[in-house]
A = this chain, B = another copy of it.
Amino acid sequence: MLREALSADADAIADHLTRQIQGHAPLHDAMRYAVDGGKRLRGFMVTETARLCGIDPVRALWPAAAIEAMHAYSLVHDDLPCIDNDATRRGRATVHVKWDEAMAVLVGDALQSLSFELALHPAGAPTEAARAELGLRLARAAGASGMVIGQASDIAAETAADPLTLDEISDLQAGKTGALFVWSATAGAIMAQDDPTPFEAYARDVGLAFQIQDDVIDVTGDSLSAGKAVGKDAAAGKATFVSLLGLEAARTRAAQLTEAACDTLASYGARADRLIALAHYIVARHH
């Protein structure tokens, strides 16, 4: 059930996002390349929570594409030589390898702008109030109190004298991964002008479980199925959930977070079945 819904929504989101990148300059080609592929977990959280909140699915495609554009920008910049220096992403050459560094900087910059354009598009959220609120929350999730401070803290940790503690790494990941997850899972409620609180709690737990599972994959996975380099964190001596907790305890923690996430949606009954399945999928995935 989840597989079919995720796959159908992922295709619709990808198609919508690609069609919004207009123009035929190399910049636009590179933007389309950068948004191609991926599991669209964040976009699916938007479409699925929108469905649960009674929002027209065609309207939900706009914020779903918005969050995928934001996520794609963050990957392009994270892969840059001066940050993670990754040559492969989603099984293909990264943007700065296929084009060059200047193009990768500009592609990321333009995808961030595009993300706001899509989140604020009049064909998306049905009211001006909901659009303004989605845009404001997106800015806060993406910026210096959300994703970017998480990324900056992650870089700072690499050269810090002491490895991060569990609390510090959890805080860091709440910014780096969690903020966009929270935006995604609350978008439906914001569009419907409903209370976003239960979805916030769900997304925080799912986001942390997602990141723990990423650390597990970095230790147990192979680069072919992961579609990107693995084993980098261990090689760099970086503190991760696995290095701090051990492999089994990390898996247990991810499972506990998943249960907690699902519990927060209990009051929605069967309407939350796919969000619950999504939470379980996130800790079971191998890539």
**A residues neighboring B (CB under 8 Å):** 21-23, 25-28, 31, 73, 77, 80, 82-83, 100-103, 105-106, 108-110, 112-114, 116-117, 120-122, 127-129, 131-132, 135-136, 138-140, 142-146, 148-149, 151-153, 155-156
Contacts and interface: CB of A to CB of B under 8 A. Distances in A.
A146 B140 CA distance: 23
Given A80-B105, A105-B80, A132-B128, A139 B113 contact: yes
A139 B114 contact: yes
Contacts of A26: 152, 156
A23 B149 contact: yes
A129 B73 CA distance: 27
A117 B132 contact: no
Contacts of A21: 144
A151 B83 CA distance: 22
B148 A136 contact: no
B132 A105 contact: no
Contacts of A143: 109-110, 113-114, 117
A142 B129 contact: no
Given A106-B151, A128-B129, A149-B23, A144 B113 contact: yes
Contact of A102 (B22, B109, B139, B155): B155
